[in-house]
Structure 1
Amino acid sequence: MATAKQNFYKWHRILGLTALIPVMMWTLSGLSHPFMSNWFRPVIALEVYKPVPAKTKPALSVQQVLAQNNISSLINFGQVSFNNDTYYQVLSTDSVYNYYSANTGKILAHGDKLYATYLARYFTQDSTSKIKSISLQKTFDGHYQPINHLLPVWKVAFDRPDGMDVYIETGQSRMGTFNNNTRKAMLTVFEQLHTWDFLAAIGGNQFRNVVMLLVVVAMLFSLLSGLTIYGLFWKKFKTATQNRRADNRKDTRFVHRFHRQLGLIVSFVMLTFVISGAFHLIVKLHNDGPAPKVYAQHINSKDLTFSNLALPIADSLVKNINVVKFNDSTYYQLSDIKKNVSYFNTLTGAALINGDMQYAGYLSGFYHTGAAQVKGKTTISQIRQFDNEYGFINKRLPVQKVNYPNGENWYIETTTSQLATKVAGIDRAEGLSFIFLHKYFGMSWAGKNARDIVSMLAALGVLMVSLFGFAAFIKNK
């Protein structure tokens, strides 16, 4: 029995020392997260673009403009108004946006860059600061992370003391994110200390996730072995304390005692962090596979015979216009300011009943190809607000939720023909465990500030236990 107890001590020390540096990295970066995401988060004047309707109806239809510029095929088009003119925003077959005046048909040189600049100034409400640089970003990086989802985007850097960068997706006239100097520094720290991007740079994401999972497992066994030791020796610890007090001796092992007592207090908190973190990494490894399919379409300009200028929706209500092709037909896709999406045949102008649901079902079938076939009826419904399953992290709204009989939910952003995310049983369980056990969303009822303070106290408690444990190890040397 004595040997078993000594072995528990030995392995507890080994596991604790193994996890010490990672725990310090995770808890310190966890302590910084509320400052980055809440208290020191930069402020921008406007976060949502509300287009101003053109004062007059465009003189030319999109079909006329395409014919004038000898464009026979395209991927998509939109209609935007800025700098006192209205333009057809044409996504060419080379995946480049070109802008043609809807009144003259002439191309606007560097149109996409100019529109990105216009939107960046709109969101910041800054019409005076110089633009330091503007570049098209097709990959994620440390300052524009995968959590932002949208690509490609224009990175518009303002020449201002706060170093404001705004990321613009021109195709949907929306902002990916924005960073000032403080947030950029915090993102760099968080990326290295919490998500361990340096490991991804060395061996890729799978290597990083495996290493992090091994460390989390070491933390779990360190926690369990510590609790076991306390259970095996608690009578001995109690007797030693009573004898010391009876003999009025100095407490020379107060570091060990604080480590044990504080460890017992925060053991549940540490368990929630470890379990949710491990589950998160396991699901990441489980979902690590080939890149998702990319949906592509080609529109023949001759199919746009019904004029887009004759569509039966007032210009003042239209937020965006696109063109989509499915089920052997081509449709104008109109999004209005109330988040309704309507479809009109480009040959006849006839409205497609429940068009957005039909298109979502079509796209879901495209993205579902290769997945296990599910028997039974699917249901489709529009999602206009984020919730616990489809959270803010997904960025895209509105989306159509395609619910399969097996419980899987596929979220489709029809205005970009993109799969926003899919949630299966394990994804749903992991998502809930992460937001409630790791990010403390169960405290949301008390407000974001209270939730952040509680999560910081929890992280601080884990950090102090680790430091007291290391101090006890040094003292034993």
Structure 2
Amino acid sequence: MSAKTKTARWSYAKHQWLALLGGISLLVWGISGLAHVAMVLFGPQQAVFMPPPAGVALEGARPVAETLADHGITQALAVKTVPAPDGGVLWQVTEAPLAERRYFRPADGAEINGGDRAQAEFIARHYLATDRAITAASLQTRFDADYPWVNRLLPVWKLAFAGNDGLTAYVHTETSSLAAVNNTMKARLQSVFRALHTWEWVPQGMDWLRVIVIGLMVASLLALALTGIAMLVTVRRNKRPPGAHGWHRIAGYVLALPLIMFAASGLYHLVQSALVPPASQLRMGRPVDVASGKWPIEADWALIAQGRDIASVALVEGADGRALYRLGLSPKAPMGAGEHNHGPAITGADHGMAGHNHAAMLAAQAADGVPTTPAEIREARFAGIRPDGPAIYLDAATGTVMPTSDRDLALAIARRYTGAPDSAVRGAELVTRFSHEYDFRNKRLPVWRIDYGAPVHASLFVDTGAGVLVDRVADREKPERLVFSFIHKWNFLYPVGRLAQNLIVGLFGLALIAFTAVLGLKLELARRQRMGRKGST
């Protein structure tokens, strides 16, 4: 007997043996995978892409150090300006990572009671462009089934809107971002995905069993595809077999490779996740001594802002531990207006929706070339957005312009979290787009990427605007992230656009279910019936 014949018989026997388990596995992950594609294509989408406009105008305002001292605040994790409903800014103060943020008016230093919830409502209404009533609001400090850990950001305000669609927004006020948005349809699709794709219903103490069972099922898919290919190569037919046999064979030629891609990358992802359980790496910075910010930046604001489009102001800790004012410039600022050209020398409301015209705002964004349609916004969300440009640093005690750059601060923050010397740094670069290593779920751009060699062997992603460690990716995790992104999610199709990519993946998923799983299971059941009839005679 020739080797070709032996291979054909062996693959045929194993293919039949794997058919039932593999077919059921393909149905389970095919349907749940389609649920994820449907969430992306048809789930609720923000109506506005750009963050709320904020004109930073502090001339004549009360010094922020005095404001904080009057309210008993001596240290804070973050002190920075955030957009206000009237188009100006408020001072936002973070005293603890999971606490409600506090808000103060720059003009008179008055604190806004219930300011964090009001800010969350303002942000949600801005991005969703809705004036619908809010029926419930709560500060969420833990991940749950409706807001899983992949969203990364905590705490968030969970805002439920009136209506029959179950519209719910999750707002992270510290970054003024819409962390997630759900409705009834998306919640149901998420339930299907969690139940069938990730099996999150398995108790945490039995996670090992989940990994083993899922591993066996996915491995059966991979083996089914490989034995099917062996049959296609070794068994040649002069004409297509009739009925389901013929269609199943044709489907094998087209769908074997996609099935291998999904199964192999999924198995790799499962093993990697079991070895290194996924968890948020986000860490807030060290508390800043706000009393050290005694130089009144507000007094010299006219000179500071001259010829500059300042997008944000924050009190941060510098590389040597001293407090600095970080002036984030607009990304539209001309080159040379940032880190390497400081310009002229620098020396020593109610939270309502009044005037918030969504139609006018959308029209203005469209005129500026900003994404406005759901498809454009979805595409841009995955590509990323830069909320500010380069930065100028001033000594918070003296007002002196510091030679510090964002890169210097990023290295200092990374040094605090690794304890490694700068000699271990292999590279540092500004990240302005999401990628497989720093994906859109982190929601922060721009960030600095600091690559470490021994003994760290990892890349750290740092938000210098908030002094935050956003993510940490070990070198050993990077190959799996690349495979999962390009092979499992098919991000190699990125040139065709996010919408087309998901449509293509969805079509292949449907084809795998309809032509491979359904027809294969039909053939297997028919075979078992024939064997049963033979056994009874």
Deviation at 1:285, TM superposition (A): 2.7
Give matches, 1:323-342, under 5 Å: 323-325=315-317, 326-338=319-331, 339-342=389-392
Query: What is the rounded CA distance, in whole Å, between the counterparts of 1:54 and 1:377 in structure 2?
Result: 35
Q: Give CA-to-partner distance per residue, 1:144-184, whole Å, 9 cap, x none.
A: 23332221111121113433222211112222122233323
The one-letter code matched in structure 1 to 2:490 is: Y
Deviation at 1:361, TM superposition (A): 0.8
Deviation at 1:348, TM superposition (A): 1.7
Q: Does 1:415 align with 2:404?
A: no
The one-letter code matched in structure 1 to 2:178 is: M
Gapped runs of 5+ residues in structure 1?
A: 243-250
Residue 275 of structure 2 corresponds to 286
Residue 216 of structure 2 corresponds to 214
Q: Does 1:146 align with 2:138?
A: no
Q: Secondary structure at the match of 1:64?
A: helix
Q: Does 1:302 align with 2:327?
A: no
Query: What is the rounded CA distance, in whole Å, between the counterparts of 1:415 and 1:205 in structure 2?
Result: 38
CA contact (8 A) 1:374 1:405 kept: no
Q: Does 1:457 align with 2:507?
A: yes
Q: Give CA-to-partner distance per residue, 1:404-458, whole Å, 9 cap, x none.
A: 3578532212223333334455433333322332222333333444433332232
Q: Does 1:321 align with 2:313?
A: yes
Query: Aligned to 1:195, which of 198, 220, 243?
Result: 198
Q: Does 1:277 align with 2:266?
A: yes
The verdict on how the C-alpha distance between 1:175 and 1:225 changes in structure 2, with shifts beyond 3 A counting, is same
Query: Aligned to 1:179, which of 166, 177, 182?
Result: 182
Query: What is the rounded CA distance, in whole Å, between the counterparts of 1:219 and 1:193 in structure 2?
Result: 15
Give matches, 1:29-428, under 5 Å: 29-38=32-41, 40-53=42-55, 57=59, 59-80=61-82, 82=84, 84=86, 87-93=90-96, 95-127=99-131, 129-199=132-202, 201=203, 203=205, 208-231=210-233, 234=235, 238=237, 254-288=243-277, 292=281, 294-309=283-298, 310=300, 313-314=304-305, 317-325=309-317, 326-338=319-331, 339-369=389-419, 377-387=425-435, 389-404=437-452, 408-428=458-478
Gapped runs of 5+ residues in structure 2?
A: 332-388, 529-537
Deviation at 1:102, TM superposition (A): 2.8
Query: What is the rounded CA distance, in whole Å, between the counterparts of 1:269 and 1:83 in structure 2?
Result: 49
The verdict on how the C-alpha distance between 1:230 and 1:422 changes in structure 2, with shifts beyond 3 A counting, is same
Q: Secondary structure at the match of 1:171?
A: coil
Q: Secondary structure at the match of 1:66?
A: helix
Residue 431 of structure 1 corresponds to 481
Q: Tell which has more relative contact order, 1 or 2 (C-alpha 8 A, sep 6+).
A: 2
Q: Secondary structure at the match of 1:168?
A: strand
CA contact (8 A) 2:436 2:482 kept: yes
Q: Secondary structure at the match of 1:197?
A: coil
The one-letter code matched in structure 2 to 1:196 is: W
Deviation at 1:60, TM superposition (A): 1.2
Q: Secondary structure at the match of 2:169?
A: strand
Deviation at 1:112, TM superposition (A): 0.8
Query: Aligned to 1:475, which of 498, 513, 526?
Result: 526
Q: Give CA-to-partner distance per residue, 1:1-50, whole Å, 9 cap, x none.
A: 79997765554334332233331121123334333212x23233213323
- Give the aligned CA root-mean-square deviation in angstroms: 3.3
The TM-score with structure 1 as length reference comes to 0.84
**Identity value in percent:** 25
The one-letter code matched in structure 1 to 2:305 is: A
Q: Give CA-to-partner distance per residue, 1:72-105, whole Å, 9 cap, x none.
A: 3322222345355854322225844222333333
Q: Give CA-to-partner distance per residue, 1:302-349, whole Å, 9 cap, x none.
A: 211112324664298333332222422121223232222332221122
Deviation at 1:113, TM superposition (A): 0.9
CA contact (8 A) 1:73 1:93 kept: no
The one-letter code matched in structure 1 to 2:487 is: L
CA contact (8 A) 1:48 1:174 kept: no
Q: Secondary structure at the match of 2:328?
A: strand
Residue 349 of structure 2 corresponds to none
The verdict on how the C-alpha distance between 1:286 and 1:58 changes in structure 2, with shifts beyond 3 A counting, is farther
Q: Give CA-to-partner distance per residue, 1:273-296, whole Å, 9 cap, x none.
A: 112212222332333278748444
Deviation at 1:131, TM superposition (A): 0.7
CA contact (8 A) 1:412 1:418 kept: yes
The verdict on how the C-alpha distance between 1:465 and 1:160 changes in structure 2, with shifts beyond 3 A counting, is same
The one-letter code matched in structure 2 to 1:327 is: D
Query: What is the rounded CA distance, in whole Å, between the counterparts of 1:49 and 1:291 in structure 2?
Result: 24
Residue 15 of structure 1 corresponds to 18
The verdict on how the C-alpha distance between 1:291 and 1:124 changes in structure 2, with shifts beyond 3 A counting, is closer
The verdict on how the C-alpha distance between 1:196 and 1:265 changes in structure 2, with shifts beyond 3 A counting, is same
Deviation at 1:206, TM superposition (A): 5.9
Q: Give CA-to-partner distance per residue, 1:205-251, whole Å, 9 cap, x none.
A: 6654454333222221222233334555x26xx48x79xxxxxxxx7
The one-letter code matched in structure 2 to 1:390 is: Y
Deviation at 1:363, TM superposition (A): 1.9
Query: What is the rounded CA distance, in whole Å, between the counterparts of 2:18 and 2:170 in structure 1?
Result: 43
How many pairs align?
A: 459
CA contact (8 A) 2:415 2:422 kept: no
